[in-house]
Structure 1
Amino acid sequence: MRKVMIIDDDVPMLRYLERMIDWESLHLQVVATAFSSVKALELFREKDPDIVITDIGMPQIDGIELATRVREINPAVRLIFVTCHEDFGYARSAMHLQADDYLIKYELTTEKLMGSLQKASKLADESRERIDQLSFREELEHHKDQIKKQLWRLLSGKLDEQKVSQLLQKIGMRWEQPRFMLAAATVDYASLLEHYHYEDLDLIHYAFYNIAEETAADWAPVLIIPQEQAGKFVFILNYRPNLAVNIRKEFEAYLEKLREKIKSYLKIEMRGIISGELNGLGAIKTVHEQLMEAQQALYYKPWTISHLSDDAPSIWTVNDQEFKRYKDELLQANEKQDLSSLEAVLERMENYARTVMLKPQLYVYHLSQMLRSLDYEWNIQHEKEHLHALLPHIISSREALQLAKQHVGKLGGMQDRGETMKEPRLHEINEYISTHLAENVSSVSVANHLYLNPSYFSRYFKKIAGINFTEYVHRYKMDIAKQLFEQGESVEMVAIKLGYSDRTYFSKVFKKYIGISPLDYKSNK
């Protein structure tokens, strides 16, 4: 049974609310009442109610401030305001506190109060369920991640087979065969940053990991170990030899399927390299080192999924004298603010490094130094350190080149985004309105969001929608208002949620576009 607390400095009203409904029928119990905000805070700490019903206009501490304080004590408490104040300033404050309802006293009925309490109880249940599920999943996933990190330290360091077996059992796995196959996979960071930001890297790392595990579940119990560098993973397959099955081809097919899913769901590319057969746990460390060397050997080649081979290791050159000329050319192009020339220099530089087989670490060093020179010229700080930290982890020269070109394109506003970006589709505009419902959405704010000139956007919008932007926003919000009324929301709460400054203005707009007043619409439902 949920606990309820009622607060009102009008004692008769306090008693009226207490006797207004059958609390037990709603599985609720009034555990405290208070006519003083100061006393209410004391009782709140003592009784720990799940739902608070409070007046707003009270001496010493008003209901808004009181609600703010109880939320600081217990962020999960549900709030219902019952007040004689129709002032939209109060309603807006209630909205900011995510109150479940804002009820006007002279309009209050038993049915309205019961509806608000049922809504608050339901939201409390949903909130608790989400918190419990999230806490359980986070604890479980965190526990599994820690075990996998311990496993990898043992497998790639000082091996202890007994401890490995114990840790595997904790995550529900058993390695019963002495045969293994290893793979290493890395996201393509250039394709990732075409769609996301550096700050999203950990989130993409987690999404990649989940997709990899789901894909493996359809095939075989592959142990997937996330590496310290976000976007890198090791896959370990333990299997029983079978002459009728080519395990290496099966493993390759799994990685190809994973690659397709990553590209489809996340819009990014990946690369993977597969070992041959391994005998025993002791071979994992050595073979993983060989995979890393093989990745480097493929640095200047176009590849996605490859195999560890017995080819002779690559012979790298360390002759990097040519890069002084490239640096001079890059700075000259920069002085002219010529983006195409800057990109051309970067292309020639990568082509030279690939032709002479320059040691990858040297290519990365010079590329990073040149980009730092441009950053210095433009006094750019945003995201640059992310790029330089990422470059050494990239396993393809073309990928590094693409990242560099993306970075150059951001410098100094050299690209007029408003002219080069694709025209926005209506659903992108709707998405912006939906995420800013409680604000006064203007054509200027949307134009800025889309990097468009406001005048151009207004003309473009009327062309695709047939009406001006302001009228479109009102229509869009009124459709949502109808949905909210059908869910039992009050006029005050709907107006605030949709960003209107007062109830009267909102009612006029609603009647203009829907044909009847909000109260008539609610009563008809």
Structure 2
Amino acid sequence: MYKVMLVDDDYPVLELLSEAIPWDRLGVELMGVYENGAVALEAAQTVMPDIVVTDIGMPRLNGLELIRALKELNPAIRVVILSCHSEFHYAQQAMKLNVQDYLVKDTLDPQDLETLLGQMKASLDEETSRFMKNDQLRQLVDRNREQHKEAFIRGTVHTPLLNELSWINEAEAFGLATGGSFLPVICYIDGQRSARQRFVTDDVLRFAVNNLLEEMLAEVKTNIVNFTYDALRSFIIAPVVGGIKTNPYDLAEALFRRIQAASAGTIKVGLSFIIGTMCKTPQELKQELNGLLGSSGQRFYMYSNSLERKNKQVFSSADLFASYDEAANEFREILIEGKADQVQPVIRRWMQFIREERFRPDTVKDWAMKLMLDLKLKLQSMQMFRNHFSVEILHRELLEIDTLEEMELWMIHFFESSLVVAGEVKELSKRTEVLDACQYVTLNLNRRITLDEVAEHLFMNPSYFSRLFRKETGETFIEYVNRMKVERAKELLDQTSLSVAKIGETLGYDNHSYFIKMFRSVAGTTPQEYRNGNS
């Protein structure tokens, strides 16, 4: 709604107009009435009016001075002069200030002002509509250009380069100078999960980052072009003219440091860059762009706001899953015993271990995913965990994570959220004794567990505890213990090379045959058949 300001040192006039004009029906808002130009100008510094109706002769700042000051702030403002001065020279000065109309108080009819305001609103509506159409057209042109640039860079990367002259012509149409060599760079958006949440959609996030890159690259005026590749990555290609004494890598690094600072200061998004090697031909550039896309291993171990040159990665040949059981036990204990203060230190220690060993990123993600799912199932089986994270969501989020640093934050969020949910479940349960019993079993799977032992631990009568447990869980206490031991045996069969007999001993079974019989009754197969089927 357009805002109207009334300015006059004659208060009865202000009162008359403020009450006589049907502001709402006209579709305008009376933002305020002011007794002199100085007060009105001060108010306009906070909220700029679209229309001002003002007297000329006022103390401190007269109407003509007010109009002149407002026009400097908003050249499109509409103005009506309302004055007792009918002399020509006042009207002449008003015309020079592009005043829309001049009404004399002595012959004023509020209907005249109402008619003028209606005409001004219509004019503003038309101007706004025209501006929006022009803005939409400009956005459409810009969007189409960005889509063409994205199609161009994807075509360069993924399709055969059959006609270099055609490629050069198209590259030059986007502003890329092709007379010398090229220095390609890949740009990553850091902290993509939090960035996507803050910007709501990928399109808005990409638009904000692309605008910043375009503005920063335009400042250097060296025909460097940014090409969006996908929601989180873009290529920046810098032309390098022969004969320049300054090292182009040094120039690039200085530029990207400025871009990182600008991005952090304005749109609050971290950006990281990997600088490729110099290319002399479009074909060489194509190969280098593919090489940069393939540098995900280097990217995985980069910190936020990193700037590195592309280098060949050497990954550890050690088996990360050899440490899986140790990690699973440690995290299981944290969740079951509610050790919230241990979540971040333990996760960071494991992430540091992974960073120092430098395992392959896909192996690290497989390790983390298995850890999340095993712990999720473990807590669900203990009835301490609701379906808070679906498997599909966990898998999708983990696949999208492109750095170890972000994976660390993701795991911390998972465990801290799981602790909160498990705590809520325990607090809301009417039978915390059952949850305590489940927790006791999980922490003592390495030995024989009896119903009497657990009942004594809970200070309960064994018969009453047995009936209560079955009522709350739908299975007997012994059935639950056996099921938990089989789940643990499956983990050891999958993740270790321990013999079946040794696994039975680890779970507190002295009788090897009894362990196999119990396993088969619960799992429907023998331990060895289970291992062979999963190998």
TM-score by structure 2 length? 0.51
Offset, 1:198 = 7.2
Q: Give the Cα separation in 2 of the matches to 1:358 and 1:274.
A: 23
Indicate the residue corresponding to 2:40 in structure 1. none
Contact 1:216 1:222 in 2 (8 A): yes
Contact 1:187 1:268 in 2 (8 A): yes
The alpha-carbon distance between structure 1 residues 343 and 174, as it changes in their structure 2 partners (threshold 3 A), is closer
Q: Which stretch of the first structure deviates more once superposed, 399-408 or 242-251?
A: 399-408
2:165 matched to 1:162?
yes
Indicate the residue corresponding to 2:360 in structure 1. 359
TM-score by structure 1 length? 0.51
The alpha-carbon distance between structure 1 residues 194 and 243, as it changes in their structure 2 partners (threshold 3 A), is closer
Q: Give the Cα separation in 2 of the matches to 1:126 and 1:397.
A: 52
Indicate the residue corresponding to 1:466 in structure 2. none
Map 1:126-525; keep pairs closer than 5 Å.
126-156=127-157, 157-159=159-161, 160-171=163-174, 173-189=175-191, 193=194, 196-197=197-198, 199-219=200-220, 220-228=222-230, 230-297=231-298, 299-300=300-301, 302=303, 304-309=306-311, 313-372=314-373, 377=380, 378-379=385-386, 388-411=395-418, 413=420
Deviations 1:117-175 (A, max 9, x none): 2453144234313421332122112211221122113321311323323433543x253
- Paired residue type of 2:186: A
Indicate the residue corresponding to 1:426 in structure 2. none
- Paired residue type of 2:410: L
Offset, 1:319 = 3.5
The alpha-carbon distance between structure 1 residues 243 and 225, as it changes in their structure 2 partners (threshold 3 A), is closer
Offset, 1:401 = 0.6
Q: Give the Cα separation in 2 of the matches to 1:198 and 1:363.
A: 28
- Paired residue type of 1:233: S
- Paired residue type of 1:139: L
Contact 1:339 1:414 in 2 (8 A): no
Q: Give the Cα separation in 2 of the matches to 1:188 and 1:245.
A: 30
Deviations 1:374-416 (A, max 9, x none): 6675445579866643433444312221233244444575799
Contact 2:320 2:367 in 1 (8 A): no
- Paired residue type of 2:399: P
Deviations 1:323-353 (A, max 9, x none): 2332333233223343332333322331232
Contact 1:320 1:358 in 2 (8 A): no
- Paired residue type of 1:290: G
- Paired residue type of 2:307: I
Q: Give the Cα separation in 2 of the matches to 1:132 and 1:213.
A: 23
Contact 2:177 2:223 in 1 (8 A): no
Q: Give the Cα separation in 2 of the matches to 1:146 and 1:301.
A: 29
Q: Give the Cα separation in 1 of the matches to 2:260 and 2:160.
A: 32
> Helix, strand or coil for the counterpart of 2:279?
strand
Deviations 1:227-253 (A, max 9, x none): 22x221111112212242211111111
Q: Give the Cα separation in 2 of the matches to 1:186 and 1:224.
A: 12
> Helix, strand or coil for the counterpart of 1:271?
strand
Offset, 1:206 = 1.4
Name the count of aligned residue pairs.
307
Offset, 1:208 = 0.9
The alpha-carbon distance between structure 1 residues 331 and 126, as it changes in their structure 2 partners (threshold 3 A), is farther
The alpha-carbon distance between structure 1 residues 299 and 212, as it changes in their structure 2 partners (threshold 3 A), is same
The alpha-carbon distance between structure 1 residues 169 and 293, as it changes in their structure 2 partners (threshold 3 A), is closer
The alpha-carbon distance between structure 1 residues 299 and 327, as it changes in their structure 2 partners (threshold 3 A), is same
Offset, 1:207 = 0.7
Contact 2:228 2:235 in 1 (8 A): yes
The alpha-carbon distance between structure 1 residues 345 and 234, as it changes in their structure 2 partners (threshold 3 A), is same
The alpha-carbon distance between structure 1 residues 352 and 410, as it changes in their structure 2 partners (threshold 3 A), is same
Offset, 1:256 = 0.9
Contact 1:183 1:275 in 2 (8 A): yes
Q: Give the Cα separation in 2 of the matches to 1:266 and 1:373.
A: 38
Contact 1:394 1:400 in 2 (8 A): yes
| Alignment root-mean-square deviation, CA | 3.5
The alpha-carbon distance between structure 1 residues 263 and 113, as it changes in their structure 2 partners (threshold 3 A), is same
Deviations 1:76-102 (A, max 9, x none): xxxxxxxxxxxxxxxxxxxxxxxxxxx
Deviations 1:15-46 (A, max 9, x none): xxxxxxxxxxx9xxxxxxxxxxxxxxxxxxxx
The alpha-carbon distance between structure 1 residues 316 and 140, as it changes in their structure 2 partners (threshold 3 A), is farther
Whichever of the two has the greater Rg, that structure is 2
- Paired residue type of 1:164: W
Q: Give the Cα separation in 2 of the matches to 1:242 and 1:316.
A: 44
The alpha-carbon distance between structure 1 residues 123 and 273, as it changes in their structure 2 partners (threshold 3 A), is same
Q: Give the Cα separation in 1 of the matches to 2:335 and 2:364.
A: 20
> Helix, strand or coil for the counterpart of 2:277?
strand
Indicate the residue corresponding to 1:61 in structure 2. none
Offset, 1:212 = 0.7
The alpha-carbon distance between structure 1 residues 243 and 166, as it changes in their structure 2 partners (threshold 3 A), is closer
> Structure with the greater relative contact order (CA < 8 A, sep ≥ 6): 1 or 2?
1
Contact 1:409 1:415 in 2 (8 A): no
Contact 1:346 1:401 in 2 (8 A): yes
Q: Give the Cα separation in 2 of the matches to 1:240 and 1:276.
A: 15
Listed as ranges, the gaps of 5+ residues in structure 1 are: 1-25, 27-107, 417-525
- Paired residue type of 1:163: S
Q: Equivalent pairs: percent with the same residue?
A: 13
The alpha-carbon distance between structure 1 residues 312 and 401, as it changes in their structure 2 partners (threshold 3 A), is closer
Contact 2:181 2:239 in 1 (8 A): yes
Contact 1:299 1:395 in 2 (8 A): yes
Contact 1:198 1:386 in 2 (8 A): no
